[in-house]
Structure 1
């Protein structure tokens, strides 16, 4: 039988049983819709999180001693000398202000302060939305400059759309000039902003001298690995070098020092997303199994109803292969149509749910991610379901004796 004739016969058979075909397709539609919806949403969440982290996220490494004494300038210089694979090693300190206010502030607010240098925003994944980052002189000289996040702008100036650059805020009675606004949260570390306090950034020297309770030592170092450097290997090298420079005993390293990379955070996130996708796939697989059983049931019914037709085809010269191909083509056509409908519905449903999911994971803008591979996989699964569950009815039809089939009433 020619392919054109096979397609025509398949279309005619499905049209003759529209209601039955539609109900059979429904099981496949549900399964593929679930697969596409979950994979596109999970992919969209992953892409949004990576985007929030920033372009340099995979190269960021954090060095954090637990002993509380911090890291001094000499130790930082030694790290820079012994670890040349870093593009930057950015010192960070933390402090707080009991009261932060602007001329329009109506309520009393406190602030968690992150002290950073001029390279911190390149390393951490923070993006400057308005204004600029700190200059080298501001970082070194203890300048009373401040960078706010969107929440702080909202609380201090009444609207997150306000441009506060150049305006004055007071921290525990001391004036500071706003030089910039960041649009997202840092990937690793950063000010806490907990207990209702605002999260702001100031030059690291300013925080060490005026707002830190731990003295002038740096509480954390953020590093940005050079392009092409093995981040996992550099993380281990950093742990060994930092322990040596900070004079931490070998058996105390895990208790007194934390060295972690943003790549590990990304890997953990990808692993979690992969596990979630696997679970969603298992649930969708059950739907496809039920749909496949429905297809087999329908095709077996078709064989029974069309015994005389099969006998007539065989009497007119159709081979067993032709009969098998016809019924198998019908099963595959049903599953492929279900797959295509499910793909469209899945993408539409993921678009509808993206806003809701984005609100649940921190107000991120999530765009569903449907890859060509996902669509091809869905179509491939549909064809496989059609072949597997349509094979037995097709072979049963092909094995019918033509003479007995023509006698069937």
Structure 2
């Protein structure tokens, strides 16, 4: 319901903070990332290491902030009155409602042409769909192997291999070296990637890492090559790009299936820690063991119930034996199939679990055999073989007392090797 104090069609009433956030979101969607050229004025460095200044030209001025993390990467000391080009994100400082530019990198005027070239290529490739989120693939959680492209002498190589050794030493790393800077670098990077694509098509690797340490825009320019971008998109397996520092962006980042802020982060995203897999494996093994115990308990209970239902007449005993034998066979077969499937699945991750399951299976099989042997020992035929007989009247009821007979009554006696028809005679007089 509309407020009667305001006419229909009046502007929405905003909370101040909500309005600032909405303006910030609009700026982010409309302009960012943004590059600005201007003269530094009002420059100051806070005790925290953050830099604060404004950029101005003949027609305007904008407040800027550069946080310590980004400022520590500067290759020169900015000064007031210096003409620079900055790269960053436009936003709103909500506490004061001020428009400000969060600066991620600063270069002396002259690198602007490179950035303009970067933006033109980015816009063209984006229009062709090379950056579409729909074509991004998830990184496999358990890769058979990981491909790595970087320079042979780069710190990024050491960072990635150290992270892999710490998190997933069981995963092989296939290294394809290439220079990561200079005019020859794009061609070498493409050749290295294509070599790894061949390994991927053979099923040897399931993810590729393209990494390099930080540097200036010129240092990272190889990763803004159009043909490298198209090569990345052709990768048959997911590709993670970890180039530069967290604030660096290249065309390769946009083309990759996943961007990592650093080379070490790329390795961490591609390899889940071994301890996590072992924890999952132990939980699965415990669950499997509980399931086996439950099945064995049910089987033992059914065996006890079958033994309790066994009657003395041979006909009922034979029927129970047949049903028990079938049940035991089906149970053993089902357990065998289930445990073999589970053992095969876990054998890929931990052969020791598969061995334990097979050992448990053999032990449970022996327990079942012994239970069946004890059941067979209850067979009345064994008693008959010792000279006893099973007496039944004409209706098949067991005769267990003299008082249940009368002279002339027809009785069948079951012996170990057959039956004999008998007639009850009067008791002899003493």
By relative contact order (CA 8 Å, sep 6+), the higher-ranking structure is 1
Larger Rg, first or second structure (1 or 2): 2
* Structure with more of its chain in helix, by fraction: 1
